[in-house]
Amino acid sequence: MIRAFFPGSFDPIHYGHIDIASRASRLFDEVVIGVYNKPMKNMLFTPEERIAMAKRTFEEEPKIVVQGYNKLTVDFAREINAKVIVRGLRVFSDFEYEFRMALANHRLAQDIEVVALITNEEHTFLSSTTVREIASLGGNISTMVPSYVAEALNQKFAEMNDDRPNVHMTSLRD
Ligand code: ADP
């Protein structure tokens, strides 16, 4: 039985993440989606909201489970007995970051392999930052996220009730 761990911020989950998790579930016996809840960057959604949206996304997928975590990724992977960490690759700039992360994780835990899946070409441009930016400006995100995520984004930005844009796109990474 090979359990894979797919960590990320998922702020919010979008079709790029969903595609990677679904494909990983065809390769491994179980995929645990780890919603990191102590990121250094500011999040739009609370950990509970991000976990709830991810859980709803995979409620019909018995091989995919969702958990929050707030420790070193390799430590959590070991705790849940995952032998593989799954990541997704979109553009070349992802590669450098993921390459460094994979080497660091391998230094920390040689018993855990990092497997990177190449994005589906239709999701190449998709990131949580892009989705948040478009939603904050009232754009149509229906092809990028499930309907309940789009509703949560619209509600969040409505609640903010602020004339100034709250989210800025600063880089290709989210
Ligand atoms: P992080 O903030 O740690 O980069 P994210 O929630 O943004 O985490 O993403 C988690 C994982 O999903 C990362 O490996 C990221 O590269 C991958 N990912 C994000 N968007 C896409 C996409 N459109 N296609 C493939 N993989 C993606």
Question: Could you tell me if the CB of 50 is within 6 A of ligand 1?
Answer: no
Burial class (CB in 10 A: 0-12, 13-18, 19+), 113: middle
Cα 46 to Cα 38, 43, 111: the distances in Å are: 10, 7, 32
Q: Residue 88: which of 145, 35, 20, 30 has the closest Cα?
A: 20
On the question of pLDDT at 165 being above 80, the answer is: no
Q: Which of 19, 50, 86, 87 best tests ligand 1's pocket when mutated (most atoms within 8 Å of CB)?
A: 87
- Residue 168: the pLDDT is 56
Is 113's pLDDT higher than 60?
yes
Q: Quick check: 86 and 101 in contact, CB under 8 A? A: no
Q: Which CATH architecture has domain 3-124?
A: 3-Layer(aba) Sandwich (3.40)
- In the structure encoding, which two tokens stand for residue 76, read together? 């959590």
Domain ranges of the chain: 3-124
Mean per-residue pLDDT, 9-14: 97
As given in the structure block, the two tokens for residue 106 are 């391998």
- Ligand 1 atom at minimal distance to the Cα of residue 9: 6
Residues serving a catalytic function are: 17, 41, 90, 128
Task: Write down the residue that tokens 């709803």 correspond to.
Answer: 56
What single-letter amino acid sits at 30? E
What is the reported pTM? 0.90
pLDDT score at 91: 84
pLDDT in tens, 30-56: 999 999 987 666 899 999 999 999 999
Average pLDDT over residues 85-113: 93
**The pLDDT value given to residue 167:** 56
Query: How far is the C-alpha of 113 from the C-alpha of 82, rounded, in Å?
Result: 9
pLDDT tens sequence across 129-138: 999 999 999 9
Q: Which ligand 1 atom lies nearest to the CA of residue 39? A: 2
Which whole number is the average pLDDT over 149-160?
Answer: 94
Pocket test for ligand 1, best of 14, 37, 90, 123 (most atoms within 8 A of CB): 90
Does residue 99 surpass a pLDDT of 70?
yes
CA distance 21 to 26: 9
Q: What is the pLDDT of residue 164?
A: 55
Distance 98 CA to ligand 1 centre (A): 10
173, pLDDT greater than 90: no
Judge whether residue 162 has pLDDT over 70.
no
Two tokens at 37?
């809840």
Residue 133 identity: E
pLDDT score at 12: 98
